[in-house]
């Protein structure tokens, strides 16, 4: 597949990575928006989430409840952000903007799923965080993770199932240890499928990732992501993913009538690794029940 990059300055900064094949763009004006909140998680891992003495919500999770059912309310997320930004849960330094909204839209046709994220990226996410790269290459990164139905509790716990005390950038952890899924097995279908758009720096060098998380995170191998687009206009990012319903290794097969667990992660202000903002675990329904419903066009 031939890879091309386009840069346009006529309507803000537009960065597109993907196939040279033409695809009909969805009519986004007819697609409902669902606003979710993404927040800085600090060093909160899945082990922390499942320790009753630290997280009272563990009881609900063991009963089959989801993180969203407990933490999402009419006025946003019901989370103690002051505690989350404290030294115990963020020993390095929390961003000033702990939480911000992201609008999500989804639509599909006979071949592809189209996902659109719209958000204003905070410029204070780095705070006093040490840079893991000598020269970070990307102003903003936006990722979506889909949970395989064979990942136990993926619809309840969301992407926290891939975040552990032992992974790099956690206090005292192995600096080479990447995210992983407990009992992850790509061949047996126990994995998270993830796609990511990376902005580049100053409007140049946009790239995309089509990978998966099983025994470790792998930033390649997927065949489903057709293209990723990012536009910055009037301080607002619009990131659109065009993804085949079917793919290859590390790609979760999608079809109408399916409800898929998914989550969103956004890096802003050139941050890397765990210094990002993440969503709780939501569900995407392809003409099926879900927190976000993908309509057919």
User: Residue with structure tokens 């969203």?
Assistant: 68
Strands 99-108 and 292-296: parallel
Looking at residue 234, its pLDDT comes to 95
> Does position 2 have pLDDT exceeding 50, yes or no?
no
| Rounded Cα–Cα distance for residues 181 and 178 (Å) | 10
Does residue 26 lie in a domain region? no
The top-scoring range by mean pLDDT among 47-56, 113-122, 132-141, 271-280 is 113-122
Does residue 67 lie in a domain region? yes
pLDDT range class, residue 202, cuts 50, 70, 90: low
User: Residue with structure tokens 């410029």?
Assistant: 123
| Rounded Cα–Cα distance for residues 249 and 101 (Å) | 32
Beta strand ranges found along the chain (DSSP E) = 4-8, 13-18, 34-39, 72-73, 76-77, 99-108, 112-119, 141-147, 192-198, 207-213, 217-218, 225-233, 236-244, 259-267, 277-278, 282-286, 292-296
Count H helices, E strands: the chain? 5, 17
pLDDT range class, residue 201, cuts 50, 70, 90: confident
Average pLDDT, the chain: 87
Does residue 245 lie in a domain region? yes
Taken in order 57, 194, 27, 297, is the CA torsion positive or negative?
negative
Instruction: Give the angle 87-88-94 at the CA atoms, nearest 5°.
Output: 40
Whether the predicted model's global pTM rises above the 0.95 cut: no
> Does position 13 have pLDDT exceeding 80, yes or no?
no
User: Rounded to the nearest 5°, which phi and psi values hold at 60?
Assistant: -65, -40
pLDDT range class, residue 4, cuts 50, 70, 90: very low
> Does position 131 have pLDDT exceeding 60, yes or no?
no
Looking at residue 72, its pLDDT comes to 86
The percentage of the chain sitting over the pLDDT mark of 70, rounded to a whole number, equals 88
Render pLDDT for 286-297 as a digit per residue (tens, 0 to 9): 999 999 999 998
Helix (H) or strand (E) holding 134: none
CB 19 within 8 A of CB 227: yes
Question: Which segment of 58-72, 206-220, 227-241 scores lowest on mean pLDDT?
Answer: 58-72
Does residue 89 lie in a domain region? yes
> Does position 206 have pLDDT exceeding 70, yes or no?
yes
Does residue 242 lie in a domain region? yes
Does residue 25 lie in a domain region? no
6: which 2 tokens? 């386009």
> Does position 3 have pLDDT exceeding 50, yes or no?
no
Does residue 29 lie in a domain region? no
| Rounded Cα–Cα distance for residues 195 and 118 (Å) | 16
Domain that includes residue 175, residue range? 4-19+34-296
| Rounded Cα–Cα distance for residues 68 and 279 (Å) | 9
Does residue 24 lie in a domain region? no
161: which 2 tokens? 């199932």
Looking at residue 134, its pLDDT comes to 41
pLDDT range class, residue 247, cuts 50, 70, 90: confident
183: which 2 tokens? 């009992």
CB 145 within 8 A of CB 194: yes
| Rounded Cα–Cα distance for residues 98 and 41 (Å) | 9
Report the number of distinct structural domains present in the chain: 1
Looking at residue 31, its pLDDT comes to 95
């Amino acid at each position: 597949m031939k890879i091309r990059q386009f840069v346009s300055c006529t309507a803000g900064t537009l960065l597109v990575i993907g196939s040279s094949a033409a695809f009909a763009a969805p009519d986004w004006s007819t697609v409902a928006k669902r606003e979710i909140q993404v927040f800085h998680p600090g060093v909160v891992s899945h082990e922390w989430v499942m320790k009753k003495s630290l997280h009272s919500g563990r009881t609900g999770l063991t009963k089959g409840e989801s993180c969203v059912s407990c933490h999402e309310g009419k006025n946003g997320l019901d989370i103690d952000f002051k505690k989350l930004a404290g030294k115990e849960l963020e020993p390095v330094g929390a961003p000033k903007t702990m939480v911000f909204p992201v609008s999500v839209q989804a639509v599909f046709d006979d071949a592809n799923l189209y996902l659109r994220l719209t958000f204003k990226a905070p410029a204070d996410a780095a705070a006093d965080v040490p840079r893991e790269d000598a020269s970070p290459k990307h102003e903003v990164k936006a990722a979506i993770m889909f949970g395989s139905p064979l990942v136990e509790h993926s619809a309840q716990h969301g992407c926290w199932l891939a975040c552990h005390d032992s992974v790099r950038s956690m206090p005292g952890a192995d600096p080479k240890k990447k995210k992983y899924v407990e009992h992850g097995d790509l061949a047996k279908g126990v994995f998270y499928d993830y796609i990511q758009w990376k902005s580049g720096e100053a409007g140049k060098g946009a790239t995309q990732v089509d990978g998966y998380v099983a025994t470790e995170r792998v930033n390649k191998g997927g065949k489903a992501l057709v293209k990723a687009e990012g536009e910055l206009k009037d301080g607002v990012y619009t990131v659109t993913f065009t993804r085949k319903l079917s793919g290859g290794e590390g790609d979760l097969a999608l079809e109408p009538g399916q409800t898929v667990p998914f989550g969103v992660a956004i890096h802003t202000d050139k941050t890397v690794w765990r210094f990002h903002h993440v969503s709780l675990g939501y569900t995407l329904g392809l003409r099926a029940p879900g927190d976000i419903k993908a309509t057919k066009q």
